[in-house]
Amino acid sequence: MLPEGVDHLTDYWPVHPHTCDVWRGVRFPPQVATENSGDAAHFHYVHGAASVPDVEDWSHGEHWFTTSFKATFGGHAPTTWATPKGPVDGRIVTTCHGMGLAAGHIESFDDVYTLAATTPIDRHTSDHRATVWVPKVRGDGSDLDESIRDRWARQQSTQHVADFPVWENMTYIAKPPFAATEVRSFHALRRWIEGQYPTSGGAE
């Protein structure tokens, strides 16, 4: 998940206990979290991004699906803790591995990696886990201290919590009216998701 050539022990802050969370018994299935990876608009309407990211690209193999969104970080203010030198044009790249495991890459002033895992407990509930890899060096080469590490961890944790009311109240629609900007990528994602489930029929 982390890029080749980096050492997660020396280049990134330790993830436990500062940058990982678990929520037990949440009321949504893994597919809901997987479909979230294709939803560009929700970054604006749910997470408060200044604008809706642009769907840049998507690709997939048998057991993985990657989406890439172009996004502007820090667009609300001249400077923020995450964009200290002003708004940054970057990307949000998410790769789903099978159903319920999503690896993310936030390409902004800081280069941050995430991993979310949704494990079904029964037909209606799951356990949801999230981990954030925060680098020890910022985009301008300065040290990234513990206070910024903790802000990244809190920011990512609250982003997950913001999704939960949406995910817990969604109704599955087989052929939904996708937004025009997302229709092609979402159709591809839905087809890939359908292929992750076993085909019907008993054992020979």
Would you say residue 122 lies in a domain? yes
> What are the phi and psi torsion angles at 147 (to 5°)?
-65, -40
Number of domains the chain is built from: 1
Q: Is the pLDDT of residue 201 over 60?
A: no
86-89 long-range contacts, CB within 8 A, separation 24+: 87/50, 88/139
Would you say residue 10 lies in a domain? no
Read off the pLDDT of residues 62-88 as tens digits, 9 standing for 90 and up: 999 999 999 999 999 999 999 999 999
Would you say residue 108 lies in a domain? yes
Question: Residue 200: what pLDDT?
Answer: 67
Would you say residue 203 lies in a domain? no
Is 52 within 8 Å of 37 (Cβ atoms)?
Answer: no
**Domain holding 82: CATH number?**
3.90.380.10
Would you say residue 14 lies in a domain? no
Would you say residue 9 lies in a domain? no
- Give mean pLDDT, residues 32-38: 95
Would you say residue 4 lies in a domain? no
Domain of 115? Answer: 20-193
Q: How far apart are CA 27 and CA 129, in angstroms?
A: 14
